[in-house]
Amino acid sequence: MTVESTDIRIGGRRQVVRVVLLVCIAAIALVNVSPVLWGVATSVRPPEEIFTFPPSLFGSGVTTEHYAQVFSGTFARNLLNSLLYSTVATLTAVIIGAVAAYAFDRFRFPMRRPLFGVIVACIPLSMGAAVLVIPNYLYFATLGLLDTPVILPLLYLGYNLPMAVWILKGAMEGIPVELDEAAKIDGASRLRTFASVILPLCKPSMAAASLFVFIGSWNEFVAGSVMVNSSEYRPVQVAVYQFISAFGRQWGPLTASAMLALLPVLLLVVFFGRHLVAGMMRGAVKG
């Protein structure tokens, strides 16, 4: 067997592997995108065609009456509520997370490693916040903060802050300490070094942390449904659930509101999704 024929066989195998990978990726993408496409189609479909059989992706016409029904209530206010809550939680988490990450990485103080271990152990809070609903409810009821506009940003901050600290500390571990020493020689204070040297180098990781915190806050449902009763302070995820009742589901308004609630997250992932990978990779490699 000649070297040329061996190279041809190896090249053929690589092509087969690439085709198989592309087919698998396309299948996974189709499975994930199909519900979204179906939701979009249902949200603009006339009510009489929603339950037609056999089902079809494209109906005979397009209507905006489901979106008009959604916006006839308090949904627009709920959408703005979630935007405000998530933005406040994100900005606060990134600021506090950056300061905490700098302290954990650059300072040596008693119980530093155990405390950081506690922070890492609290990361699942953003995914398992339902476990803390009862103690949080009792605590905030004692403080008189239930059904107020400040309770959800506080909870979102508490749930997602550990993730921000972990991401930013990983990024700062990759920044040489020599930069701090050089800034100190030039007369810069710790605060000036942090603001002018460390933070600019952590921009990709700060963007990644912001996306994680914002998406985690935006998608939170349990705390919003328990801690807030007034429609005035209700977040968007709870507002979507209002179209599900004991008498059935209003599929048109339900899918329309769900698509509106999905849109901000989708736009963030499409335009800034690369920062998720860049920020995580920057924090994963030292030096």
What pLDDT is attached to residue 37?
Answer: 83
Sequence ranges of the domains in the chain = 3-49, 65-284
Question: 65-284: what CATH class?
Answer: mainly alpha
202 band by pLDDT with thresholds 50, 70 and 90: confident
If residue 245 lies in a helix (H) or strand (E), which one and from where to where?
A: strand 244-245
Comparison of pLDDT for 128 and 19, the residue scoring more: 19
Percent pLDDT > 70 in the chain is: 85
Distances (CA, A) of 162 to 131, 159, 216, 265: 17, 7, 12, 21
What pLDDT is attached to residue 31?
Answer: 83
Q: Are 255 and 37 in contact (CB under 8 A)?
A: no
Mean pLDDT in the chain? 83
